[in-house]
């Protein structure tokens, strides 16, 4: 298995797993926005403060997404390992992948957590 140059069919499978993580990160961004909006609607934040908080929080969230999702094919294995380590995806999300690939990703995510 060449982790830096996966086959076209494997890249497609890996992108599918990455897409699950990306959708979950987008949902998290929307939850952040919702929390700020609810604080504004309840009067806990004035309009300007709510707008600034929303802008800053989403900017930081977008920055993390940009740093996490390196979409070069040679980085897919590492991106998925990081997503697993962060808890963005679960082991169940890896099920469509070949066993050898799942094992590599699981081991790599342990390295990130320091449990190896």
User: For residue 115, what pLDDT is reported?
Assistant: 58
Report residue 91 as tokens: 């082991």
CB count in 10 Å sphere of residue 84: 24
H or E element, residue 79: helix 76-86
Give the residue among 61, 44, 110 at the shortest CA–CA distance from 81.
110
User: For residue 21, what pLDDT is reported?
Assistant: 97
Q: What is the pTM of this model?
A: 0.85
Query: Domain boundaries in the chain?
Result: 8-111
User: For residue 48, what pLDDT is reported?
Assistant: 98
In tens digits, the chain (116 residues) has pLDDT values of: 778 888 999 999 999 999 999 999 999 999 999 999 999 999 999 999 999 999 999 999 999 999 888 777 678 999 999 999 999 999 999 999 999 999 999 999 988 777 55
């Amino acid at each position: 298995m060449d982790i830096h140059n996966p086959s076209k069919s494997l890249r497609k499978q890996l992108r599918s797993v990455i897409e699950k993580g990306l959708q979950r990160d987008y949902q998290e961004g929307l939850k952040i926005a919702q929390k700020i909006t609810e604080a504004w609607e309840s009067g806990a934040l004035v309009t300007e403060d709510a707008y600034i908080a929303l802008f800053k929080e989403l900017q930081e969230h977008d920055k993390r997404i940009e740093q996490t999702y390196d979409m070069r094919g040679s980085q897919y294995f590492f991106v998925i390992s990081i997503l697993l380590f962060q808890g963005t995806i679960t082991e169940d999300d890896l099920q469509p992948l070949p066993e050898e690939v799942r094992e590599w990703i699981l081991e790599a995510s342990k390295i990130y957590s320091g449990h190896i």
